[in-house]
Copies of this chain bind each other. A is one copy, B any other.
Amino acid sequence: MYIKVSIVKYTLNKGGGHITTRKDVARLAGVSEATVSRVFNNIGPIREHTKQAVIKAAAELQYTPNALAQNFVRRRSGNLGVILPLLPKVHLFSKYYFAEILSGIGQAANERGYDLLLMFASIEGNLDYLRLFHARKVDALILLGRRDIPEDRASISALLEDKHPICLIGQRFAGLLADSVDADHITGSYEMVRHLVRSGHRRIAFINGPLEYSNSEDRLAGYRAALLDHDITFDASLIFEGNFSRKSGYELAHTIAGIHEHIDAVFASNDRMAIGLIQGLNELGISYEDLTVVGYDNADIAQFCNPPLTTVEVPLFEMGQLATNKLLDRMSGKLIGDPFEEKLPTRLIIRSTNI
């Protein structure tokens, strides 16, 4: 009779497989459930003899604590949420950009026992971040590639208000004091422009990205600072705007070609635009020997194109790592105080031989 009841119970679990629980281990080891718990959580004083008995019983039964129950009772998911823009539509950054950052996040999270919960948000931002916390789906959140639009601003603002641990990577929202990690694009651009000036260029056009991304502002600031430091007058007519896509660089070729005799170089804010521009200029009969073009990001393509592109390396992997570690520090209480705004150093990569 008892056996039958038992069988019925077991078969209730789909697949017919019995879920081994703490109770089973306790019974086999001849101890209480609490003791099993203690062994698995390494808590309190336990006699070595007892501990081994539990470990042996657990091994025998192939017991693994149910993470669902653990998370539930601990009231934490163990998940680090990562919001990515819906990639297929993204032209903003290359997929390389996200893959690198994500790797950094993944490595750091893994080291600290957190899992990565990946969420794709349409770029319009219809995802209610706050709900993720309310539902306890994530313990902390990293936001990537969000645009500075009212909806997102409101969502992020709500998160900050409730003091949920979040971190932005590669962007900031003016007026919103949030933890963030970025590369030092001001210095990155500064060094690039300085390099151009030192190698004899004085009239340097600048293809910026949309100003609704904070890093566009930063690059512009670096550009201007470098000119200023070398006594070159800033000329607004040399500033152009693309949208980070190769196409937008390509389409600017006509404009650039029109003034190419009045400029020495073009600094594009990312490699894709630089490559598009070079291609466009080529078709218009302007080779890279006539006009220096440099990029930014050190994307994969930068080294394979013709000529290899001088660019600025951005430590994407490290940015992901740092953001994760600081965020988890924040959660554990190891890090307190005002929001941080980390800026990792960039590195100038000189490839073309003609500059």
Q: List chain A positions with a Cβ less than 8 A from chain B.
A: 13, 15, 17, 19, 62, 64-69, 71-72, 75-77, 79, 82, 84, 86-88, 94-96, 98-100, 102-103, 106-107, 110, 115-120, 131, 134-137, 162-163, 246, 275, 279, 300-301, 304-306, 317
Q: Are A103 and B119 in contact (CB under 8 A)?
A: no
Report if A64-B15 is in contact (Cβ < 8 Å); known contacts: A99-B87, A301-B301: no
State the majority secondary structure of interface residues on A: mixed
Contact B86 A107 (CB under 8 A): yes
Whether A135 contacts B103 by the Cβ 8 Å rule is no
The distance in angstroms between the C-alpha atoms of A98 and B95, with both chains bound, is 9
Verify B117–A116 contact, CB threshold 8 A.
Answer: yes
Apart from A86-B107, A304-B305, 6 more pairs, CB < 8 Å: A17-B162, A68-B71, A88-B317, A106-B118, A106-B119, A305-B306
Q: List 13 A-B contacts (CB under 8 A).
A: A19-B75, A62-B134, A64-B135, A66-B135, A68-B71, A68-B77, A82-B118, A86-B103, A96-B99, A98-B99, A110-B119, A301-B304, A305-B306
A275 shortest CB reach to chain B, Å: 5
User: How many angstroms between the C-alpha atoms of A74 and B197 in the bound complex?
Assistant: 65
- Chain B residues in 8 Å Cβ range of A246: 304
B305 near A94 (CB under 8 angstroms)? no
Which one, B13, B71, B116, B275, contacts A304 given CB within 8 A? Answer: B275
